[in-house]
């Protein structure tokens, strides 16, 4: 046993010295997650300043969260489209996408693309290729920007309002609502329930390294009157879950088999809630749906070990220690009672029928 | 006034043995449309929604009729407006409503035919309370196969006894089981056939109280649990738990502490001597008290249900929710 351990350590050292320098042992089975990048100011090719800035904000986690990232990306693309000039002997509908592609590549280099961004960009590509060739350039650009605004309004802002309406009905007087980390949508739902004078309290469960729950706790307790809140870290969950009446969770994306890709730790909360028969409501707009199938958190994930925002007492990687911070995990559909979307409450297993019901072939 | 009228016509329609609550609600709404003086589609829809709300307010258990109202209003909203005048359109809508109700009465035979394939010769079936579609299925199965049936008593309404009487009259071997004896009898049973008040969006079931515990017991004993439901009972509602049902209120299952019956000090059980005979005699709990303090319906989770037989096919609980999403989410 000791010899085999040494063998493995030796080979890892060899791997590390080649790829990551002597300081890091390498990621072995997690290497496919992609290393978090410390993006410098080097910019390859013709990248629009708005995109350069956005990429830096992404890589430093200044803009974080599926909705925020999607809105920021689309807003930046609006500037890019307005500043774009079609070269001679070309049409906007044919050429604009070739101009946008490197911009997207630059964004993805900063942080892997979120499903929301992917869906929005796919829709944008569709709109660009559909734009009328005979339209004057400025009109075509204005029309595209209008379509981007509509997308943000319909798929995110209005959708959120509908979801708030639906989810608030499930919070009753005297309930204890449990949530994990911070989802912008869950925050809005809780604040709405509070503005409707419902008497309830909230348990905010949080976890290192991001400790996003603190932000949520701050906004919930700064209301007048403040919402009664309990703040605890993930290890304290088993003793608190029995008090909860309903669990509200946000999502990064939702997959065709009903599994939920969300902040690391969500799966644990959902599983424990199921174990204690506490209903779990997942709040998620339909534009977060992905037609891929996700079976576990290993096939696709993101690492966040070098994020500067992390608290300073986070252990640093060295030659004997590799800090591994997957940012996401996958929650199986069996642990989710209901998914609250703008088309209603649906069980996670029926997710795949929504695009068909909406009469769309793509999301 | 109009609100009272619609409830009256709903009650009158329910007198008909064949009509279930969603169908009676649909017919009550068509009757309302005949009386309506609305001049535009918008007005008519508003009136319909108002009447549906009035019905649901006045009914003690509105889940079934809500499903019917929801279906009918959805149908009216999506109906193509290509008639020459509004009055013609209205007549057409009324005709469609009545035709649907007529058509819907044939659904039970269709469901019986579907469920029949799952009934093997010499089956022992457990059913709960009284359901027209289960009864029709059992009567049909009896003509071609040997079956015997256990029926639960289904307190507090005791509707299981009605089922047992009708089955016995038809010559089906039948035995009434106490609600508390389901776990005792389940080993002898091949499968459970359950009617329903509504099938909800989670794929679960809302039915006479006791259905949930039968489903749990059937699951524990690994017996299939089949629900029978006409498609007009599919309801866009998602109860997260028993207490999320619209019929639940805080009076249900509250703790009764009548005056003159102080609670015993905690940690010390009342000794024999402290329970004077005249003291126990002064407390009488009647069946009515119990019934008033108890729910009429409960919610059965989808993971306890094997299949839902309906006129649109034999569906898994996931299939039900997909059907509902397809029907209403578009």
Per-domain boundaries in chain A = 2-33, 49-160, 172-357
**A144 has a chain B CB within 8 A of its CB:** no
Band (pLDDT 50/70/90 cuts) for residue A42 is low
Q: Which residues of B touch A338 (CB under 8 A)?
A: 202, 238, 240
Q: B294-328, pLDDT tens digit by residue?
A: 899 999 999 999 999 999 999 999 999 888 888 77
**Could you give the CA distance from residue B160 to residue B168 in angstroms, rounded to a whole number?**
12
**B325 has a chain A CB within 8 A of its CB:** yes
Mean pLDDT within A106-111: 87
Neighbouring residues of A33: CB distance < 8 A, sequence distance ≥ 6: A27, A300, A301, A302, A303, A326
**Could you give the CA distance from residue B29 to residue A181 in angstroms, rounded to a whole number?**
48
Q: A172-197, pLDDT tens digit by residue?
A: 999 999 999 999 999 999 999 999 99
Q: Which residues of B touch A356 (CB under 8 A)?
A: 326
Q: Which residues of A touch B321 (CB under 8 A)?
A: 346-347, 349-350
Residue B167 is inside which H or E element, if any?
Answer: helix B159-169
Instruction: Specify the pLDDT at position B81.
Output: 77
Burial of A250 (0-12, 13-18, 19+ CB in 10 A): buried
Instruction: Specify the pLDDT at position A50.
Output: 93
Tell me the C-alpha to C-alpha distance, in Å, between residue B309 and each of A98, A109, B203, B208, B314.
53, 52, 12, 18, 4
**Could you give the CA distance from residue A60 to residue A53 in angstroms, rounded to a whole number?**
11
The helices-and-strands tally (H runs, E runs) of chain B is 13, 11
Chain B residue closest to A166 (CA)? B238
**B240 has a chain A CB within 8 A of its CB:** yes
Instruction: Specify the pLDDT at position A305.
Output: 61
Instruction: Name the DSSP letter for residue A165.
Output: H
Distance between A186 CA and the closest CA of chain B, angstroms = 17
Average pLDDT, chain A: 84
**A359 has a chain B CB within 8 A of its CB:** yes
Torsion from C-alpha of B237, B243, B246, B251, nearest 10 degrees: 180
**B203 has a chain A CB within 8 A of its CB:** yes
pTM: 0.86
Q: Check: CB of residue B69 under 8 Å from CB of residue B55.
A: yes
Is the per-residue pLDDT at A361 higher than 70?
A: no
**A168 has a chain B CB within 8 A of its CB:** no
Q: Which residues of A touch B329 (CB under 8 A)?
A: 343-344, 346, 354, 357-358
Q: A110-147, pLDDT tens digit by residue?
A: 888 899 999 999 999 999 988 888 888 899 999 999 99
Neighbouring residues of A81: CB distance < 8 A, sequence distance ≥ 6: A96, A141, A144, A145, A148
Q: A218-255, pLDDT tens digit by residue?
A: 999 999 899 999 999 999 999 999 999 999 999 999 99
3-state per-residue secondary structure call for B284-322: CCCHHHHHHCCCCEEEECHHHCCEEEECCEEECHHHHHH
**B300 has a chain A CB within 8 A of its CB:** no
Cis amide leading into A112 (omega within 30): no
* Residue ranges of domains in chain B, CATH in brackets: 2-104 (1.20.120.420), 107-239+294-328 (3.40.50.10470)
Band (pLDDT 50/70/90 cuts) for residue A2 is very low
Instruction: Specify the pLDDT at position A15.
Output: 36
Instruction: Specify the pLDDT at position A310.
Output: 54
Please answer yes or no on whether A350 and B318 come within 8 Å at the CB atom: yes
Q: Give me the residues of chain B with pLDDT under 50, please.
A: 260, 262, 264-265, 267-268, 273-274
Distance between B119 CA and the closest CA of chain A, angstroms = 29
Instruction: Specify the pLDDT at position A26.
Output: 58
Band (pLDDT 50/70/90 cuts) for residue A40 is low
Instruction: Specify the pLDDT at position B285.
Output: 84
Distance between B246 CA and the closest CA of chain A, angstroms = 11
Q: B236-264, pLDDT tens digit by residue?
A: 899 999 988 888 887 888 787 655 454 54
Distance between B322 CA and the closest CA of chain A, angstroms = 5
Band (pLDDT 50/70/90 cuts) for residue A1 is very low
Torsion from C-alpha of B10, B12, B17, B21, nearest 10 degrees: 10
Tokens representing residue A154 in the block: 């319909």
SS3 assignment, position A252: coil
ipTM of this complex prediction, to 2 decimal places: 0.83
What's domain A172-357's superfamily in CATH?
Translation initiation factor eif-2b; domain 2 (3.40.50.10470)
CATH number of A49-160: 1.20.120
């Amino acid at each position: 046993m000791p010899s085999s351990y040494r063998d493995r350590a030796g080979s890892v050292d060899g791997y590390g010295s080649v790829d990551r320098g002597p300081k890091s042992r390498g990621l072995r089975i997690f290497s496919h997650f992609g290393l978090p990048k410390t993006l410098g100011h080097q910019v390859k090719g013709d990248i629009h300043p708005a995109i350069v800035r956005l990429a830096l904000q992404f890589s430093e986690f200044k803009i974080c969260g599926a909705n925020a990232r999607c809105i920021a990306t689309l807003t930046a693309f609006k500037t890019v489209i307005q500043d774009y000039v079609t070269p001679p002997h070309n049409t906007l509908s044919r050429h604009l996408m070739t101009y946008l592609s490197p911009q997207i590549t630059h964004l993805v280099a900063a942080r892997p693309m979120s499903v929301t961004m992917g869906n929005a960009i796919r829709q944008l590509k569709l709109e660009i290729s559909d734009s009328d060739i005979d339209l004057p350039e400025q009109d075509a650009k204005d029309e595209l920007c209008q379509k981007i605004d509509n997308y943000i309004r319909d798929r995110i802002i209005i959708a959120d309002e509908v979801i708030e309406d639906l989810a608030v009905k499930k919070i009753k007087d005297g309930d204890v609502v449990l949530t994990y980390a911070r989802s912008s949508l869950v925050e809005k739902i809780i604040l709405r329930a509070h503005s409707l004078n419902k008497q309830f309290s909230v348990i905010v469960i949080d976890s290192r390294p991001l400790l996003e729950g603190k932000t949520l706790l701050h906004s919930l307790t700064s209301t007048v009157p403040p919402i009664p809140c309990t703040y605890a870290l993930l290890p304290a969950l088993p003793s608190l879950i029995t008090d909860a009446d309903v669990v509200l969770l946000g999502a990064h994306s939702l997959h065709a088999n009903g599994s939920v890709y969300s902040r690391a730790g969500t799966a644990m909360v959902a599983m424990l809630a199921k174990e204690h028969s506490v209903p779990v409501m997942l709040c998620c707009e339909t534009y977060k749906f992905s037609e891929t199938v996700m079976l576990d958190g290993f096939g696709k994930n993101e690492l966040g070990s070098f994020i500067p925002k992390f608290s300073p007492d986070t252990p640093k990687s060295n030659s004997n220690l590799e800090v591994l911070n997957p940012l996401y995990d996958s929650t199986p559909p069996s642990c989710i009672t209901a998914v609250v979307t703008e088309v209603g409450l649906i069980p996670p297993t029926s997710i795949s029928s929504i695009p068909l019901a909406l009469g769309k072939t793509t999301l | 006034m109009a609100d009272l009228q619609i409830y009256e016509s709903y009650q009158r329609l329910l007198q008909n043995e064949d009509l279930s609550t969603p169908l009676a609600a649909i017919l009550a709404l068509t009757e309302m449309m005949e009386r309506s003086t609305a001049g535009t589609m918008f007005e008519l829809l508003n009136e319909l929604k108002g009447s549906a709300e009035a019905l649901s307010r006045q009914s003690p258990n509105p889940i079934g009729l809500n499903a019917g109202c929801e279906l009918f209003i959805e149908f009216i909203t999506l109906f193509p407006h290509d008639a020459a005048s509004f009055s013609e359109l209205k007549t057409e809508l009324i005709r469609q409503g009545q035709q649907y109700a007529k058509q819907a009465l044939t659904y039970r035979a269709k469901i019986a035919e579907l469920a029949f394939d799952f009934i093997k010769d010499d089956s022992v079936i457990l059913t709960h309370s009284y359901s027209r579609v289960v009864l029709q299925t059992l009567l049909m199965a009896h003509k071609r196969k040997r079956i015997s049936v256990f029926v639960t008593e289904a307190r507090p309404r005791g509707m299981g006894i009605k089922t047992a009487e009708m089955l016995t009259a038809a010559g089906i071997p039948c035995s009434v089981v106490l609600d508390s004896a389901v776990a005792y009898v389940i080993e002898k049973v091949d499968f459970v056939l359950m009617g329903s008040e509504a099938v909800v969006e989670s794929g679960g079931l809302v039915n006479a109280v006791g259905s949930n515990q039968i489903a749990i017991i059937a699951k524990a004993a690994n017996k299939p649990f089949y629900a029978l439901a006409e498609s007009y009972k599919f309801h866009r509602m998602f109860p997260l738990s028993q207490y999320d049902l619209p019929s639940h209120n805080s009076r249900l299952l509250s703790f009764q502490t009548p005056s003159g019956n102080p609670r015993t000090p905690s940690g010390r059980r009342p000794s024999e001597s402290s329970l004077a005979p005249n003291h126990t005699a002064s407390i009488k709990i009647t069946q009515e008290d119990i019934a008033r303090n108890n729910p009429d319906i409960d919610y059965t989770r989808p993971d306890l249900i094997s299949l839902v037989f309906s006129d649109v096919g034999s569906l898994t609980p996931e299939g039900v929710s997909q059907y509902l999403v397809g029907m209403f989410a578009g």
